[in-house]
Amino acid sequence: MSRLLVAATALAVLAIYTAAPLGGGPARAWAQDELAVGRIAVVASTEGDVLRLRGGAGLSHPVQGSVREGTRVQVAEGPQTADGHVWFRVTAGSTSGWASSRYLNALNDRALQAATSAARGPLPPNSGRTVQVRVTAYSLGAGARTATGTTARFGTVAVDPQFIPLGSRLLISGFEGTVFVAEDTGGGVRGNLIDVWLDDPTAAGRFGTQNRSVTILDR
């Protein structure tokens, strides 16, 4: 065996074991680009143990909850890199915290639809279509939480859940390159109105009401 082949084999083995999970042993490699805010993931590769959720991205943060293997969670924030892990804040019911992406298996759109269709019924008629809506803007203080428990940030929109289901990913004309997530509601948000969160209160106040096209990707 040539020296070049030996070196390549050694590097491959090293890559597997340097990605080992917190409890030891080789980690299962998930496609990181499948995990994104608003997506649904399943807790996996804990070897029957629970996944500990931390108060921040990193091993130094205290454990503030746990979820069992097989639990479906929603990705609320991230990614952040710390201690050799890529971290996402996830929510499962009233439980929330930061978890290493090594234990999160992103559900693709087909798997998610199959897993939820029986429980949630058919998708509303607007899903997967481009519709005309009125778009306004709002701004909240730093660290403010949305109706779904996520931290408001650019990419958050408030919707009427009867018109657009919470958790839907949206494309809004005029905001090319950004995928928005329907994760907030509001007393004045009714029907075909979408409220876009902006970090600048002045800009939000100047935004007014605009008619735009919105493509509803999924829920």
CB 23 within 8 A of CB 30: no
**Looking at the domain assignment, is residue 130 inside a domain?**
yes
Is residue 135 very low, low, confident or very high in pLDDT (cuts 50, 70, 90)?
A: very high
Give the domain range for residue 200.
123-218
Q: Is residue 71 part of a domain?
A: yes
Please indicate, yes or no, if residue 139 is contained in any of the structural domains.
yes
Same domain, 86 and 154: no
CATH number at residue 87: 2.30.30.40
pTM: 0.45
Residue 14 falls inside a structural domain: no
Model pLDDT, residue 59: 93
Residue 5 lies in a domain: no
Phi, psi dihedral angles at 94 (to 5 degrees) = -90, 0
Query: What pLDDT was estimated at residue 67?
Result: 86
In this structure, which amino acid lies at residue 153?
Answer: R
Give yes or no: residues 91 and 167 share one domain.
Answer: no
The pLDDT tens digits for 164-215 are 888 888 999 988 778 899 999 988 899 999 999 988 888 888 999 999 999 8
* In a shared domain, residues 92 and 161: no
Is residue 7 in some structural domain? no
- Asked if the structure places residue 209 within a domain, the reply is yes
CATH of residue 185's domain is: 2.40.40.10
SS3 content of the chain, % helix, strand, coil (to 5): 20, 35, 45
**In whole angstroms, what is the distance from residue 134 CA to residue 152 CA?**
20
Considering the chain, what percentage of its residues have pLDDT values greater than 90? 26
pLDDT at 28 > cutoff 50? no
The answer to the question of residue 153 being in a domain is yes
Number of domains in the chain: 2
